[in-house]
Structures are given as C-alpha cells and as structure tokens.
C-alpha cells in the first residue's frame, strides 16, 4: 500500500500465495519501499533476506523463480496503471474480487468495503453501491465483510481485460516455477 500526503492508502500491488513481498530486496535494495497490509486472511511464511540470497546463489532454479515472479509483478503494476486510468469502478472492483478469489480456498472470504475502497482509491459509498448491484444480479453475496462469489463467470464478464492479462502473467510465472523442479 502507498500512503498519500493526505493520509489515504491505495494499493500498489496485490500479492497472494503465488508471490512474495520484499521484491526490491532481491534486486539489491537495502530497505522496503512500501507498506505491506494483509487484506484477506490466510497463511504466510517469513524468510530472512540473507537466507534467500544464499539460496538464490546456491540454486539457479530459485533465482529463476524469483525473476519469473518479478516479471509477473511488473506486468501487474503496468496493467494496474492502465486499469485505474481507463476502466470503471465496477470493472476494477470485479477485477480485485477475482484476484482475491484466485488466492483463497473456496468461494467465500472476508473483505470489507473499506478495504476494497482503500485498495482501489475509491469512495466507500461507491464500493457499497457496486457491491449491492453485484449482489442484486446474484454475482456475489455480501454481508458484513463476508463475501461469496456466487457466479464467477458473471464476475469475469463484469471485470475488464486487465484481470485476464494479470492472471495470465501470474499463471506463466507459476508454470515457470513448476518447470524448475
């Protein structure tokens, strides 16, 4: 997340079980350049950068996996810039919900409207209106932060092409990782 001078937060990138935070550190940086915020509960592992550096030096496949993920993250960042500039709030919310759904087990997860608003730089009222409309069309079910994807195909139709581009880049990174072992 990035904090503006006015104190608002906005999502820089979305990272789940397919990725890692600390990208600048594997590129030679010495400190983190952003804040990491958990928006959807799940599990995570922690690894000291010195241990990762050692593993990347010893095992070429780990370095390749890290670089493959870095490439998919760069694609996500570039596509997200285009998305914010060109697409409607409904398309952007649908894209974010699809990415969240890709990263959880099952169809239900916890995410508040405030979290969605912060992630996308939207007003909470806008998010509420769109979530209510998606629920009315039986694409999602939403109550007190508990969101269920009822009609994934319908949600994909609501999302912009950015979802498919980012998903494809992430899939290629995972495929590259699978082929390394």
pLDDT at 106 (0 to 100):
87
pLDDT at 176 (0 to 100):
55
pLDDT tens-digit readout, 80-120: 889 988 999 999 999 999 998 988 888 999 999 998 998 89
Task: Tell me how far apart the alpha carbons of residues 177 and 69 are, in angstroms, rounded to a whole number.
Answer: 9
pLDDT at 67 (0 to 100):
85
Entry pTM: 0.79
Residue ranges, the chain, pLDDT below 50: none
Spell 141-170 as b/e; 16+ CB within 10 A means b. ebeeeebebbeeeebeebbbebbebbbebb
pLDDT at 175 (0 to 100):
57
The DSSP-derived string for 87-98 is: S-HHHHHHHHHH
Task: Tell me how far apart the alpha carbons of residues 128 and 125 are, in angstroms, rounded to a whole number.
Answer: 5
pLDDT at 134 (0 to 100):
98
pLDDT at 174 (0 to 100):
57
* Residue 140, H or E segment: strand 140-143
pLDDT at 101 (0 to 100):
92
The CA-atom distances, in angstroms, between 145 and each of 39, 54, 114, 131 are 11, 41, 9, 11
Torsion from C-alpha of 18, 72, 89, 40, nearest 10 degrees:
20
pLDDT at 4 (0 to 100):
73
């Amino acid at each position: 997340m990035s904090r503006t001078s006015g104190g608002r937060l906005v999502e820089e990138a979305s990272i789940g079980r397919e990725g890692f935070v600390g990208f600048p550190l594997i590129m030679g940086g010495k400190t983190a350049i952003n804040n990491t915020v958990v928006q959807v509960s799940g599990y995570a592992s922690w690894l000291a950068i010195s241990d990762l550096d050692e593993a990347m030096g010893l095992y070429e496949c780990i370095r390749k996996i890290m670089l493959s993920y870095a490439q998919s993250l760069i694609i996500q960042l570039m596509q997200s810039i285009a998305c914010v500039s060109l697409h409607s709030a409904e398309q952007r919310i649908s894209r974010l919900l699809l990415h969240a759904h890709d990263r959880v087990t099952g169809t239900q997860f916890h995410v508040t409207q405030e979290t969605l608003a912060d992630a996308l730089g939207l007003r909470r009222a806008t998010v509420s209106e769109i979530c209510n409309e998606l629920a009315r069309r039986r694409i999602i079910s939403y109550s007190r932060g508990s969101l269920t994807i009822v009609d994934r195909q319908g949600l994909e139709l609501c999302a912009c092409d950015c979802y498919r581009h980012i998903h494809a880049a992430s899939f290629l990174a995972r495929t590259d990782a699978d082929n390394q072992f």
